[in-house]
Structure 1
Amino acid sequence: MNKVIFFIAFLVISNVKAQQNIFKDKFDDAIPVLNFGTFHMGFTSDANSVDFDENDKKNQKEVHKIAKMIAEFKPTIIIVETTPDFNETLQKEYAEYLKNPKIKFKNPSEIELLAYEVGRLSSATRIYGIDHHMGYNYNIPNYIPNKVNDQTYERYFQLINEEEKKLNYDNLSLLEKLKIDNNPQYLDFLININADILTHVSTKDKFEGADEAAKFYHRNIRMYSNLNQIDFKPGDRVFILMGATHTAYFNNFMKRSPKYQLVDPFLYLK
């Protein structure tokens, strides 16, 4: 009996060791990054949107409660989903908010509602946009005649539609919504529905779905390149706020990067 227990213990220990890092892959001064996903709180051109009144005082109060939680991370730099050519205007608007947090925005988004407030509470003075616009068609399966299809695409969306009903996302509180948006399984799901599932749709000897999915990967890797062009200083701590699909890609990029050290958002979403 003791031999059996010892053997099981040996297998468990061996398995744990097999999963440990085999070499150092992060710089000693790797930059802490809180990479945070959200739905778009204002107008969005995205195909899917969440019903959220950005001008409602109660909603704004709830957003600021979340901002107070996140501010415990103490970021020194804020990153948002706008293009770099807007950075000068963005920095100016943010500076005005720091002087007067009661400033009224006509159509505030998660940037004005959440990112600015996190930055204010953290005394962060620098803010940058890293978005990069590229067109792609994730509805391409509807436009491919005579496609070779193993039904994975159709079956997957049938499964997801059933599960989304159980999730009842629209009726959750803001905090509960953001916990879902940053759940690792949900982030993987976002990459799948926006790109990977398209690899199951093509015509013989062609790659229509895969090529379209690659465009979305292309956009996100360019956004990541925009991030890498920012001049970070020793001691900087970075808060990134973007639509959760971009968050999902950035988690993958930064997990492998020697430069960044991801911080678990659930340390602050309590």
Structure 2
Amino acid sequence: MQKIILLAIFLSLNLITAQPKKKQILLIGTFHFENPGLDVAKINTFDVMSEKSQKELENITNKIKEFGPDKIFVEWGYQKQDKLDKFYARNTDSLLHKKADERVQLALRAAKKLGHKKLFAIDYNQTRFPYDSLTKGMKEANQLDLLKSNDEEMKIFEQSQNEKMKKYNLTELLIDYNSNQSNKENVEWYLGTANRAGKNDNFVGAFLVSEWYKRNLYMYSLIQKLTESKDDKIMVLLGAGHTAMIREFIKYDPNFEIVELATILK
């Protein structure tokens, strides 16, 4: 009997030690530094090219270097990796002085400091985001309260983000964009508002939500595929709406754990 108990303890210990070490993901959600105004919510531009912001970017990327990701993934069409490779090979100083794009100012700057050969493109944009059809579906279904609520949500979100743009410095903005509250706000609109839109036989809301899930799920699939066994740490830089969703996927993936930006900036 004692031998059986000892064997059971030995086997349970083996199962515990056999669990693979989780790979760490520094998941950074951000606003678009070069804001083209294509998002539904209209957020003001923040000057990342100012002397103050440039000093902050140097500090942030130095901290990323200390963290030491083996790969950095960015919001760039996955099927255009060759163009990203050529872009990455261009004169770094020239890019840093001319391009406000977060993929340059954060990802490329950090990758060059780390001595990386490339950045990894993971954006999947072969999906639709029929926002006009969504609001039209609300009107046709006489969902006037939902339509009003949606408009108010958008205005409150825009006002809140624009106030932060005036109040915070770049470091504070990025920490805020990756806070629990910001992640919650980025996800709940899809299920709390958008998914309700349309008549009983019109799933325009659910279609928009499913397309958004699809885009992010496909991007996460690329992160999984491109992360090799030799990679202990990775960094993912995407719009905050994407990272908020990807966080939900990571919760149920036993191979990864999230490292918070605020933690490495301490």
Range into which the TM-score falls when normalised by the shorter chain: 0.7 to 0.9
The answer (yes or no) to whether the contact 2:135–2:147 under 8 Å persists in 1 is no
Which residue number in structure 1 is paired with residue 180 of structure 2? 184
Which residue number in structure 1 is paired with residue 24 of structure 2? 32
Match of 1:131 among 91, 102, 123: 123
Percent identical: 25
Q: What SS does the corresponding residue of 1:59 show, helix, strand or coil?
A: helix
Which blocks of at least 5 consecutive residues in structure 1 are unaligned? 1-22
1:143 aligns with 2:136: yes
TM-score normalised over the length of structure 1: 0.78
d(CA) in 2 for partners of 1:196, 1:224:
23
The answer (yes or no) to whether the contact 1:148–1:204 under 8 Å persists in 2 is no
Which residue number in structure 1 is paired with residue 33 of structure 2? 41
Which residue number in structure 2 is paired with residue 118 of structure 1? 110
Amino acid at match of 1:212: L
The answer (yes or no) to whether the contact 2:60–2:265 under 8 Å persists in 1 is yes
Aligned length: 244
Deviations 1:14-43 (A, max 9, x none): xxxxxxxxx98x951321111110111114
Distance 1:40 1:78, change over 3 A: same
Give runs of ≥4 in structure 1 deviating > 6 Å.
none
Match of 1:94 among 73, 88, 91: 88
User: Which structure: greater helix fraction?
Assistant: 2
Deviations 1:237-269 (A, max 9, x none): 100001011111111111211221211222023
1:228 aligns with 2:224: yes
d(CA) in 1 for partners of 2:204, 2:254:
34
Deviations 1:134-190 (A, max 9, x none): 221234342124315383553365366447646621212111211111012211211
Match of 2:264 among 237, 259, 268: 268
The answer (yes or no) to whether the contact 2:73–2:119 under 8 Å persists in 1 is yes
Deviations 1:91-148 (A, max 9, x none): 3433455xxx423364341011111122233333342010011221234342124315
The answer (yes or no) to whether the contact 2:71–2:231 under 8 Å persists in 1 is no
d(CA) in 1 for partners of 2:22, 2:184:
25
Distance 1:159 1:132, change over 3 A: closer
RMSD (Å), alpha carbons: 2.8
d(CA) in 2 for partners of 1:76, 1:160:
38
The answer (yes or no) to whether the contact 1:75–1:124 under 8 Å persists in 2 is no
